[in-house]
Amino acid sequence: MNPFGFLLAMTLAFAGWSALSMAMDRHYADVYGRGAEPAPALRNKLRWLGSLAIVLTFAVCVAMQGWTIGAVGCLGFLGLAGLLQVIALTYVPARVPLLGKRLALAALVFAVCWWLSLM
């Protein structure tokens, strides 16, 4: 397992859960104040981006380990990222959107590093 692939899968999973959590009324209100709700267009955008990040996590895991181990590894990455997301939403909810954005940008860097290491 390539360390850049590991970091890429983990950052994609956490960024995906962050986007999906910000699409929910409850978590959005925790961050932006009581009664705040995401606009319908923003909600759809966050849902699509979160779903895309989770699908990309699956693709990275399958590319690293193959179909048999990669699918199980993806569940591990999603579970660990989900646990970290729950902890972040519990203790530092205001930082979750910023952390998700930074990890999404870090995922781009890890993707380039992973691609270069495969060559």
Task: Show the domain range for 49.
Answer: 3-118
Q: Tell me the CA distances in angstroms from 31 to 19, 36, 92, 93, one per residue in order.
A: 13, 9, 9, 6
In tens, the pLDDT along 33-60 reads: 888 888 899 999 999 999 999 999 999 9
Residue 53 pLDDT: 96
In tens, the pLDDT along 72-101 reads: 999 999 999 999 999 999 999 999 999 999
In tens, the pLDDT along 16-35 reads: 999 999 999 888 898 888 88
* Structural domains of the chain, count: 1
**23 DSSP assignment:** T
pLDDT beyond 90 at 13: yes
Confirm if 10 and 107 have CB atoms less than 8 A apart.
Answer: no
SS3 33: coil
